[in-house]
Structure 1
Amino acid sequence: MARDANDILRENGEANLRERIDGTRQTGGRGRETILGEWDAGDDTNPVPPRQWLLGNVFCRRFVSSLIADGGTGKTALRVAQALALATGRNLTGEYVFQRCRVLLVSLEDDKDELRRRVKAAMLHHDVSEAEVKGWLFLAAPGGKAGKLMTPGDKGRVTTAGLAAALKQTVQRRKVDFVCLDPFVKTHGLSENDNSLMDQVIEFLANLAIEMNIALDVPHHTAKGSANPGNADRGRGASAIKDGARLVYTLTTMSDDEAATFGVPPADRRLYVRVDAGKVNIAPPAAAAKWFRLVNVALGNGNDLYPGGDNVQTVEPWAAPGTWEGLTDELVNRILTDIDAGTGDGELYSAASSATSRAAWKVVQKHAAKKTEKQCRDMVATWVKSGLLFKETYRSPGTRKDQEGLHVDDMKRPGKVGT
């Protein structure tokens, strides 16, 4: 006589095996708790808690963030200023502070004195006193003595190391809300080009953020190549680094073209940096780049040997002048009327980049003197594309040849019904 499944279960001493195979066990509560952890959405009637943002859409509890930038761009200066904003509860960087936080800045690249210089520069520039950050801002520059978060183990296995335990202990003891480990490459002793290994590091960081209920940030260096704002793939090493983080931004120095657009002298271009969303999985991307200006701060720490002391960079928010900022309908219509009238000697204005005496952008700048040539050219190009300005072939009295000039479609002027 064939034995049924129950006979086999009893013989093996596994009377509850069927329940385990089904993946369920009774919890004594509502429904069943499972090995997988799934639940019935129909029973999920409790309110869903909001995400716990700390600073703008940059730092959030239980998530890993990162800022990807070339060396010398101002990455650390920006993170120090943002950390100071959290520690003081003050909007120092143009980003909303949801709550004042206890902050732990861990420099894995600079020594103690250099970290102190960076923090002191930000405090001086933003008028923050030591009393204001006492009990709220904690600094660490452990060097090699703290070890790494993760290192290679026996037989190719990865193990957690001394930095992990030290970090947990400090977060608990200081009741820290936000941790910045700068830079990411110094947090581990593994090959940064190995996707599997980097995935384990990022997973460890993500689990740590959840376990400790903190926001965790790991600024990251870029690979070699041209700067590309908003491109999270610029980061060094394996793609798992940017794939595992949830809030990834890029920091890029102002380009020559942007400097021309904003009227920034070429010599000052590198003092302006833009932050773009490279990968923001849990917040909508910003409609435009966020700009900052690098500022040199004199620390006043001179002595007999170095009487000048140090000058250290920090950042302050900077508003890029908009192309259309300050242009009323009345002013735009005056500009359009002058373009439509031509140069006064029978010639019409031109939108061509090679135009000189007939260049329409010069008419724009005559009425809006603070606009740069690039901004004025962009306005003319926008009006041509929209049909507000249209090209017409006419006989030039100067060259006695046919050429193109600009006229205005009066039905598309600003202020007209339907425009």
Structure 2
Amino acid sequence: MRGSRFFSAAALNGKPIPPRQWLVDGLIPSGTVTLFGGDGGTGKSLLALQLACSVALGRSWLGKATAGGCALYISAEDDEDELHRRIADICQSEDIAPAELDRLTLRSLAGEDALLAVQMQGKGMLTPTELFHELDRKLKADAPALLVLDTLADLFPGDENNRAQARQFVGMLRGLAIRHGCAVVMLAHPSLSGLNSGSGTSGSTGWNNSVRSRLYLERIKDEGYEPDTDARVLRTMKANYGPTGGEIALRWQAGVFVAQQQEQGLDRVSASAKAERVFLKLLDALTAQGRYVSASPGPTYAPAQFASHPEAEGCTKRALKGAMDKLFGRDEIIVATHGTGVKARSHIARKGAA
């Protein structure tokens, strides 16, 4: 018989409020599950291994402080030789010897049965495997601050589109996080729809809804074109305990990812103002030529048209999209129409000039 522990809210009176525990301040909470997504080949396994090394060394990760402590990295994708090569690159970038990573434990499951659960025949429910129980015992013995699981497709036995199974599996991992007071970071590939939309979601919405935070690593592309194959961006897609929408620009160099300096304060304001100025300049120029641009994605989409213009001054489509949204928000530009009847079309115009 299940025995639940009920308590009165009044019992909290006078008790000190427990502070929120973070593995990575404001990014990865402790005591719960973070889903870390990214398409194959983007480098999420390497970035997660860098996280594990940073925690083991008590150093910052991508410029953000970590809690520090033991770390356990489970890989079902990379064999021991590949892990060795990656550790060597990380050690070189951190200017350390592998002997200094004594708080990092690795386990390669490449080529082995890596399932942490199996489906109960005829019921569709999940039951833990012996590997799951072995992992539970290891966490109890080592008390790590971080557990990395790479990847969902190798560890999960069910249907990723099955919401009930997704929630149960995340619940099993969250149980590990709560019992052992660690952060669990589970790597996953996005579904085709998640990849195309840029949301980075995988399978059922149950995955996104069940985890407390979700990160997504992606390449930087513009209309399918990737101008810099070494550039990546890490986005905060969900954060129950902090702000969403954060981005960290990364660059792959010498075998590791390095955070790039972000525009701050006046620099960011200046870049935003530049994008707005360029948007209005090109809007005026194209309108004078009788070339109308649209606010909706398509052949005449203004941010895309302007970004490819010789007078774009280096502004990207993303920056010009942000400028367009701000100009609409301030009512400096409007959607007007040209043509009549069935030939009527909408276009962007300066307010008062339509």
- Please give the range of the TM-score, normalised by the shorter of the 2 chains: 0.7 to 0.9
Is the 8 Å Cα contact of residues 77 and 109 (structure 2) preserved in structure 1? no
Deviation, structure 1 residue 120: 2.0
Deviation, structure 1 residue 247: 0.9
Whether 1:285 and 2:250 are equivalent positions in the alignment is no
Structure 2 portions without partners, runs of 5+: 290-310, 334-349
Match of 2:39? 70
**1:134-169 superposed Cα distances (whole Å, 9 cap, x missing partner):** 2x1111103354642110234424321022111112
Match of 1:251? 217
Deviation, structure 1 residue 271: 1.6
Q: Between Structure 1 and Structure 2, how many residues are aligned?
A: 314
Q: In the superposition, relative to structure 1, how do residues 327 and 183 fare at CA in structure 2: closer, same or farther (>3 Å)?
A: closer
SS in 2 for 1:219: strand
Deviation, structure 1 residue 205: 0.7
Q: Where do residues 43-62 of structure 1 align in structure 2 (5 Å cutoff)?
A: 43-62=12-31
Larger radius of gyration: 1
Residue type matched to 1:50 in 2? P
Q: 1:148 aligns with which of 115, 118, 123?
A: 115
Q: Where do residues 3-402 of structure 1 align in structure 2 (5 Å cutoff)?
A: 35=4, 37-41=6-10, 43-97=12-66, 99-134=67-102, 136-143=103-110, 145=112, 147-156=114-123, 157-225=125-193, 226-229=195-198, 231-232=199-200, 234-235=201-202, 237-256=203-222, 268-286=227-245, 288-295=246-253, 297=254, 313-320=255-262, 325=267, 351-353=284-286, 372-374=314-316
Following the alignment from structure 1 to structure 2, what is the Cα–Cα distance between the partners of residues 276 and 354?
36
Q: In the superposition, relative to structure 1, how do residues 173 and 80 fare at CA in structure 2: closer, same or farther (>3 Å)?
A: same
Give percent identity, aligned residues only. Answer: 21
Deviation, structure 1 residue 240: 1.5
Is the 8 Å Cα contact of residues 38 and 188 (structure 2) preserved in structure 1? yes
Following the alignment from structure 2 to structure 1, what is the Cα–Cα distance between the partners of residues 36 and 54?
17
SS in 2 for 1:351: helix
Residue type matched to 1:294 in 2? W
Following the alignment from structure 1 to structure 2, what is the Cα–Cα distance between the partners of residues 248 and 209?
16
Is the 8 Å Cα contact of residues 147 and 161 (structure 1) preserved in structure 2? no
Is the 8 Å Cα contact of residues 27 and 242 (structure 2) preserved in structure 1? no
Following the alignment from structure 1 to structure 2, what is the Cα–Cα distance between the partners of residues 121 and 195?
39
Following the alignment from structure 2 to structure 1, what is the Cα–Cα distance between the partners of residues 4 and 323?
64
Deviation, structure 1 residue 374: 4.4
**1:331-359 superposed Cα distances (whole Å, 9 cap, x missing partner):** 99xxx9xxxxxxxxxxx997334779xxx
Following the alignment from structure 2 to structure 1, what is the Cα–Cα distance between the partners of residues 184 and 322?
43
Following the alignment from structure 2 to structure 1, what is the Cα–Cα distance between the partners of residues 285 and 208?
43
Following the alignment from structure 1 to structure 2, what is the Cα–Cα distance between the partners of residues 72 and 159?
31
Q: In the superposition, relative to structure 1, how do residues 353 and 293 fare at CA in structure 2: closer, same or farther (>3 Å)?
A: farther
Is the 8 Å Cα contact of residues 88 and 98 (structure 2) preserved in structure 1? no
**1:151-202 superposed Cα distances (whole Å, 9 cap, x missing partner):** 0234424321022111112222223121000011211222222221222111
SS in 2 for 1:315: strand
Following the alignment from structure 1 to structure 2, what is the Cα–Cα distance between the partners of residues 193 and 61?
27
What's the Cα RMSD here? 4.2
Following the alignment from structure 1 to structure 2, what is the Cα–Cα distance between the partners of residues 227 and 379?
20
SS in 2 for 1:85: helix
Residue type matched to 2:258 in 1? E
Match of 1:30? none
Following the alignment from structure 1 to structure 2, what is the Cα–Cα distance between the partners of residues 326 and 279?
24
**1:201-231 superposed Cα distances (whole Å, 9 cap, x missing partner):** 11111111101111111011011145444x2
TM-score between the two structures when normalised by the length of structure 2: 0.73
Quick check: 72-81 or 277-286, which moved more? Answer: 277-286
Deviation, structure 1 residue 272: 1.2
Residue type matched to 1:93 in 2? L
Following the alignment from structure 1 to structure 2, what is the Cα–Cα distance between the partners of residues 349 and 205?
52
Runs of 4+ in 1 over 3 A off after TM superposition: 143-147, 225-229, 320-324, 348-351, 353-356, 373-389
Residue type matched to 2:25 in 1? G
Is the 8 Å Cα contact of residues 92 and 126 (structure 1) preserved in structure 2? no
Following the alignment from structure 1 to structure 2, what is the Cα–Cα distance between the partners of residues 267 and 159?
43
Following the alignment from structure 1 to structure 2, what is the Cα–Cα distance between the partners of residues 199 and 119?
33
Match of 1:300? none
